[in-house]
Amino acid sequence: MKKIKLTSLSHGSGCGCKMTRKDLSVVLANIPEAQDPNIIIGTATADDAAVYKIDDKRAIVQTVDFFTPIVDDPYCYGQISAANSISDIYAMGGRPLFALSIIAFPVNTVPASILEAIVKGGIDKAKEAGIEIIGGHSIDDPEPKYGLTVTGVVELDKVVRNDRAEAGDVLILTKPLGTGIISKAIKSDDAADEDIKEAIKVMSFLNKGASEAMVEAGIKAATDITGFGLLGHLYGMLKASGAGARLKASSIPTIKGVWKYAKKGHIPAGTKNNLAYVNEKIIWGSSISEDAKYVIADAQTSGGLLISCPKEKKEKLIALLSKANCLAVSEIGEIVEDKENRIWIA
């Protein structure tokens, strides 16, 4: 049987195939916000998931996420997509309860065994997170797509959201950047096996431990880094919180192999869109190269948590994140007072 290259079947890769923030804002501009008084977090702040109050102590956390193949191994694709979907629950400080599958698949051109492997990957990753996938919906589609809608629960006094960052907070990132650029190299048949394995490791790693650590440390502001990249999601946090940020480029963790692919021009469209969208808000230091700008803006799939941590809680949080064996525990900058939501990067 001829080997199927999954990434060749789609126009984009992973979370990099998101609609741009600019395009999405045009669509949503005239859509009224929901008015149900039990909605704690809806669309107003573009947060990672919806939060809906169900009683005086708890709320439901609900998210949906799916995307086209990010790697060619179907089982790994399923694992990555599931980890990415569940991460939205973790980013809100919630605990996932169960999930449903979303499947689009070219049933007449790709063997069913490929879809079976994708689904098994998703199921196994969900089990690792302590939940079951208990149903779903599928359609016939020329482009493969897979993801989950995930239901979770959170205590009302422990909700973590993107609009609570405050000047003086330190910014801590829990995974390295670079999966978008490496996925572009994979799609172009130019990625080394060791770099593919490292990217898969990063993308399939659950943010469970990072989430539990930030909740235990009493954190109130965070977001997960996915298709809009570090800069896009940070800007969303700053806009929602009415603040700015300063980053130290040398402190931002990256996958070792990403730099050679950036130099070779493997820059995804999603990464270019991210940089174009936020660039007017960025004050770049003179030492920041064009390659570095793209790496810092890279469209991530199943990235880490970006946590805005009060300085008095930093020591405890870092200890808890380290104990959870997060792939990175990197202090990359701080929140500053700035009503224009600018980001200084030196």
Would you name the residues annotated as active-site residues? 15
Q: Angle at CA 64, nearest 5°, toward 60 and 66?
A: 160
Rounded Cα distance, 265 and 282, in Å: 22
State both tokens at 58.
Answer: 């708890």
Task: Report d(CA 182, CA 261) in Å as an integer.
Answer: 7
The two beta strands, 170-173 and 330-336, are antiparallel
The helix/strand count (H/E) of the chain reads as 11, 13
CA distance 90 to 253: 21
Please name every residue paired with 96 in a beta bridge, in sequence order, or none if there are none. 152
Q: Are 257 and 192 in contact (CB under 8 A)?
A: yes
Strand arrangement, sheet containing 95-105 = 39-41, 50-53, 58-67, 145-155, 95-105, 132-140
